[in-house]
Amino acid sequence: MKRIVLAFCLASSLAAQVTSEKLLAAAAGGTDWLTYSGNYRGWRHSSLDQINRQNAARLSLEWAYQMPTTHFVETTPLVVDGIMYVSEPPSNVVALDAKTGRPYWRYRRQLPKRINVCCGQVNRGVAVLGNRVFVGTVDAHLVALDARTGSVLWDVQVADYSTGHAITGAPLIVKDMVICGIGGGEYGIRGFLDAYDAATGKRRWRFWTIPEPGQPGSETWQGDAWKTGGAPTWITGAFDAAQNLLIWGTGNPSPDWNGDVRPGDNLYSDSAIALDVDTGRMKWYFQFIPHDVHDWDAVQVPVLVDAEWKGQPRKLVYWAHRGGFFYVLDRETGKFLFGKAFAKQTWAKGLDDSGHPMVLPNTEPSTEGTYIWPGVQGATNWYSPSYSPLTKLFYLSYWENRSIYRKGDQEYTAGNRYIGSVPLIDLPGDLGHGGVRALNPQTGERIWEYKLETKPWAGVLSTAGQLVFGGSDEGYLFTLDAETGKELWRQNLGGMIRANPITYVANGKQLVSIAAGNAIFTFGLR
Amino acid sequence: MRHLKAALLLFVGLLAAEESRTNPHTSPADVAAGEKTFHSHCAPCHGYRAEGGRGPNLAAGRFYHGSSDADILKNISEGIPGTEMPGLFYNEDRVWQLVAFIRSLSANAIKPAGNAEAGASLFRSQGCSGCHTIRGEGGSAGPDLSAVGAARSVDNLKLSIVDPSAEVQPQFWTVRFEDAAGKTMQGFLLNEDTYTVQLLDRDGSLRTYEKTSLKNYAIDKRSTMPSYRDKLSSGQLDDLLTYLWSQRPQ
């Protein structure tokens, strides 16, 4: 009887009730962390201010949770009603008590022997709706779990893992659908974005990010290159509820560094795409780099802001792209409004009036090697930026480095790398550096910079406490004054941080969590 | 019980067969085909000449996850759990060609033709052992050379002797600064982050400093080792190279 009572209490305490209305309301802030970016607009901002500039120096460890894994941990945890849902690489999920870090249950994914993921068998997070937790897997399945027990409710194959497809990004819940992207840009997949019925797992729609012959955009491909052209969708996008539009980024065309076999602009690679969320039909697109040959994916979180633009209220998208330029787009049309470099770049003279890069000569990969800023990993990458409605600043982790881009042989064979190059990603003795920058998104002007010795793989979080949290490869979690960039606190967590921070409230106390090394660390005020 | 014994024998037999498998594709054409696959699939991480990068050096003949042909075949085919090494979806013949190419890198390495004993004597008389340790004996001002023969090519060893600053590992860069008391400090830069620096000072002590407390902080990426270009005859250089090349993991 005692067990039954205990089980009942456990079930009650795990009654995660995320509704689509609650997800929409997350735009106004709250005490949980309900979606990958904290709200649909991609802000990674919290209205919590219990931890603020005056007391941040008193941050102290509340708990740590160690994961039984040797893979990189890139997860963003979600917190719902006192429960933290964390994806563990390669494709497991654990439910923790958000106050203590003690586990309730774990879902262990049984994976095939051979999994090909370009950059490690990672997972960046889960999605929650009602009593269900959703996770994408590196063998390209989408799985719905019971939030109370971790048991599998449905498990659907999104794509064939043996041809290089993998899911590493966090799904996004919109209405009663699970929006799910795909990875495989280094394996010559044909990219897509999917929507699934959250109740049944049945696919509602699929948008192919590379049009087939005869469709608009197919003129930007020749021959059969579209079949192996890449354009994956492996980072969680944003949702514009007023327009019913998903705004999502697409990755590089394949093969990455040898564009000879794919002449043309290669739509819709390296693009922002806007899709009607009910039908998956495209409303607009903006391609950051036509015919990219440097692997500069547009897999960044779009930041959706309604603001004055040249004296008129306008729906905007802010986007710091991997190629080194910060863009402002019109969210209703996709029209380019403004762009400016936010880091050193040597490949373009600038952007023209339509936002297209004016590419400089001799900047393509070559057999002897071409030195270009930014490097292969870009001036920024998949780790999240942040926008604060208080400072109206755009925050991002940046890299200042260069690579040698070499063009190499390429040959497509299903399931194997299809990259066409041998780049030297980091130059020995010239590793570059990185840090956190605050930009005025209306002008692209740099307001402040927090420089690091190394190049960070950690995203940033801003809060109403006028703080910006970030992390480093060196293993430091730090918090900065959101207005000045002054460091207020830091802690060495002893492991590389390749994840985004979140904040939430448990038992009335604001906490901040981030993955570092193979663990989740959570801090509060002492 | 008999069934169990038979199964065990079969299992042991299979294990033995697996370990003893040798590469059936080792012709020059196979090596060339393996090189092509290597350049398109492996070089981005392991380097164009397999010298290492994001993945380890494969040209030195040392393999950390098993060194038999069958081990290498397995690691390429299935990937290595817990690492970034993925598996290749190729048929076995093609992976064997890749194994042949990787083997060729260390098999074709030039072997020095000097006298190792004479080289050992030079190692002591020319002052090398004052800075370098081999199997626990020697100084700590330079790299430990106990296994240098397996880790470096002969050409690379030669370069380090005649032009020590040509390639210096970051942990042997020299850092110099004045500490808070105004004392000048110097040592090997073992590690550095945004806020602190870890060094091995000239007294052989491990020290960490907060960077904010330091003045005139500077890193010298040149080697502190003198060049032996004009100090050794051609024959002596060969002897010393032969001695160093013979230093392998015990």
Q: Residue A513's pLDDT is what? A: 98
Same domain? B205 vs B231:
no
Contact criterion met (CB < 8 Å) for B79 and A120? no
Instruction: Please tell me which residue, A283 or A408, carries the higher pLDDT value.
Output: A283
Provide the CATH number for the domain around residue B148.
1.10.760.10
Report the residue of chain B nearest A409, measured CA to CA: B40
Report the residue of chain B nearest A408, measured CA to CA: B40
Same domain? B181 vs B240:
no
Q: Residue A79's pLDDT is what? A: 97
Could you give the CA distance from residue A71 to residue B136 in angstroms, rounded to a whole number? Answer: 35
Q: Residue B20's pLDDT is what? A: 59
Contact criterion met (CB < 8 Å) for A417 and B192? no
Beta strands at A59-66 and A519-525: parallel, antiparallel or unpaired: antiparallel
State mean pLDDT over A283-310: 97
Q: Residue B15's pLDDT is what? A: 46
Amino acid in position A318: Y
Q: Residue B79's pLDDT is what? A: 83
Q: Residue B14's pLDDT is what? A: 46
The helix or strand, by DSSP H or E, that contains position B118, with its residue range, turns out to be helix B116-125
| Interval A112-132: pLDDT, tens | 988 888 888 999 999 999 999
Domain boundary among B79, B107, B135: B107
| Interval A15-45: pLDDT, tens | 457 888 888 877 656 899 999 999 999 999 9
Report the residue of chain A nearest B43, measured CA to CA: A422
Contact criterion met (CB < 8 Å) for A420 and B40? yes
Q: Residue A193's pLDDT is what? A: 98
* % of residues, chain B, pLDDT over 90: 34
Q: Residue A27's pLDDT is what? A: 62
> Reduced to 3 states, what is the DSSP secondary structure of residue A76?
strand
- A201: exposed, middle or buried (Cβ count in 10 Å: 0-12, 13-18, 19+): middle
| Interval A301-336: pLDDT, tens | 999 999 999 999 999 999 999 999 999 999 999 999
Judged by a CB distance cut-off of 8 A, whether residue B48 touches chain A is yes
**CB < 8 Å to B53, chain A:** 424-426
Q: Residue A388's pLDDT is what? A: 98
Provide the CATH number for the domain around residue B213.
2.30.30.100
Within-domain flag for B6: no
Contact criterion met (CB < 8 Å) for B82 and A70? yes
Phi, psi of B49 (to 5 degrees): -105, 20
- A184: exposed, middle or buried (Cβ count in 10 Å: 0-12, 13-18, 19+): buried
State mean pLDDT over B50-57: 75
Residue B47: pLDDT band with limits 50, 70, 90: confident
Beta strands at A461-463 and A45-46: parallel, antiparallel or unpaired: parallel
Within-domain flag for B9: no
Q: Which of A71, A114, A425 sits opposite B54 (nearest CB)?
A: A425
Nearest-Cα distance to chain B for A90, in Å, is 10
Q: Residue A249's pLDDT is what? A: 98
Instruction: Please tell me which residue, A297 or A6, carries the higher pLDDT value.
Output: A297
Q: Residue B169's pLDDT is what? A: 76
Instruction: Please tell me which residue, A158 or B213, carries the higher pLDDT value.
Output: A158
| Interval A345-404: pLDDT, tens | 999 999 999 999 999 999 999 988 899 999 999 999 999 999 999 999 999 999 999 988
Same domain? B190 vs B215:
yes
Active site residue A295: yes
Nearest-Cα distance to chain A for B234, in Å, is 31
Q: Does the pLDDT value for residue A435 go beyond 90?
A: yes
Nearest-Cα distance to chain B for A382, in Å, is 18
State mean pLDDT over A205-223: 97
Q: Which of A162, A421, A472 sits opposite B194 (nearest CB)?
A: A472
Q: Does the pLDDT value for residue A7 go beyond 90?
A: no
Contact criterion met (CB < 8 Å) for A419 and B44? yes
Could you give the CA distance from residue A246 to residue A274 in angstroms, rounded to a whole number? Answer: 5
Q: Does the pLDDT value for residue B225 go beyond 50?
A: yes
Spatial neighbors of A315 by CB under 8 A, at least 6 apart, are: A240, A242, A243, A304, A306, A330, A331, A332
Q: What homologous superfamily is domain A38-525 in, according to CATH?
A: Quinoprotein alcohol dehydrogenase-like superfamily (2.140.10.10)
**CB < 8 Å to A117, chain B:** 86
Contact criterion met (CB < 8 Å) for B87 and A119? no
Q: Does the pLDDT value for residue A14 go beyond 60?
A: no
Contact criterion met (CB < 8 Å) for B89 and A415? yes
The domain segmentation of chain A, as residue ranges, is 38-525
* % of residues, chain A, pLDDT over 90: 86
Q: Does the pLDDT value for residue B53 go beyond 80?
A: no
* % of residues, chain B, pLDDT over 70: 88
Q: Residue B6's pLDDT is what? A: 52
Average pLDDT of the residues of chain A: 94
Within-domain flag for B1: no
- Taking CA atoms, B60 is separated from B49, B64, B166, in Å, by 11, 11, 20
Instruction: Please tell me which residue, B162 or B11, carries the higher pLDDT value.
Output: B162
Within-domain flag for B186: yes
Same domain? B88 vs B134:
no
Q: Which of B39, B44, B86 sits opposite A117 (nearest CB)?
A: B86
Q: Which residues of chain A are at the B interface, by a Cβ-Cβ cutoff of 8 Å?
A: 70-71, 113-120, 162, 406, 408-411, 413-417, 419-426, 429, 451-454, 472, 474, 476, 490
Q: Which of A419, A429, A474 sits opposite B193 (nearest CB)?
A: A474
- Taking CA atoms, B112 is separated from A101, B122, B125, in Å, by 59, 16, 20
For chain B, what is the domain count?
3
Q: Residue B249's pLDDT is what? A: 66
pTM of the entire predicted model: 0.85
Nearest-Cα distance to chain A for B53, in Å, is 8
Q: Dihedral sign for Cα A84, A495, B195, A395, please.
A: negative
**CB < 8 Å to A429, chain B:** 170, 221
| Interval B168-189: pLDDT, tens | 877 788 999 998 889 999 998 8
Contact criterion met (CB < 8 Å) for B90 and A408? no
**CB < 8 Å to B44, chain A:** 417, 419, 421-423
Nearest-Cα distance to chain B for A116, in Å, is 5
State mean pLDDT over A56-70: 96
Give all strands (DSSP E) within A410-525, no chain letters: 433-439, 446-452, 461-463, 467-471, 476-481, 487-492, 502-506, 509-516, 519-525
Q: Residue B206's pLDDT is what? A: 86
Q: Residue A209's pLDDT is what? A: 98
Nearest-Cα distance to chain A for B156, in Å, is 16
Judged by a CB distance cut-off of 8 A, whether residue B191 touches chain A is no
**CB < 8 Å to A423, chain B:** 44
Could you give the CA distance from residue A391 to residue A395 in angstroms, rounded to a whole number? Answer: 10
ipTM score for this prediction? 0.80
Six token digits for residue A53? 């500039």
Q: Residue A31's pLDDT is what? A: 93
Q: Tell me if A462 sits within 8 A of A44, measured CB to CB.
A: yes
Q: Tell me if A461 sits within 8 A of A502, measured CB to CB.
A: yes
Residue B148: pLDDT band with limits 50, 70, 90: confident
> Reduced to 3 states, what is the DSSP secondary structure of residue B88?
coil
Residue A279: pLDDT band with limits 50, 70, 90: very high
Nearest-Cα distance to chain A for B118, in Å, is 35
Report the residue of chain B nearest A163, measured CA to CA: B89
Instruction: Please tell me which residue, B27 or A422, carries the higher pLDDT value.
Output: B27
Distance, CA of B234 to chain centre: 25
Q: Residue A411's pLDDT is what? A: 82
Q: Among B40, B48, B198, which would you mutate to test the A interface (most chain A Cβ atoms within 10 Å of its Cβ)?
A: B40
Q: Residue A8's pLDDT is what? A: 40
Contact criterion met (CB < 8 Å) for A119 and B89? no
Spatial neighbors of A234 by CB under 8 A, at least 6 apart, are: A167, A168, A169, A181, A182, A183, A185, A251, A299, A382
Average pLDDT of the residues of chain B: 83
Contact criterion met (CB < 8 Å) for A113 and B87? yes
Q: Does the pLDDT value for residue A409 go beyond 90?
A: no
**CB < 8 Å to A453, chain B:** 192-194
Q: Which of B53, B89, B221 sits opposite A414 (nearest CB)?
A: B89
Active site residue: A32, A139, A270, A295, which one?
A295
Question: Structural domain of residue B234, as residue ranges?
Answer: 116-162+226-245
Q: Residue A62's pLDDT is what? A: 97
Q: Does the pLDDT value for residue A93 go beyond 90?
A: yes
Nearest CA to A32 among A3, A66, A19? A19
State mean pLDDT over B42-63: 77
Judged by a CB distance cut-off of 8 A, whether residue B88 touches chain A is yes
Could you give the CA distance from residue A261 to residue A263 in angstroms, rounded to a whole number? Answer: 6
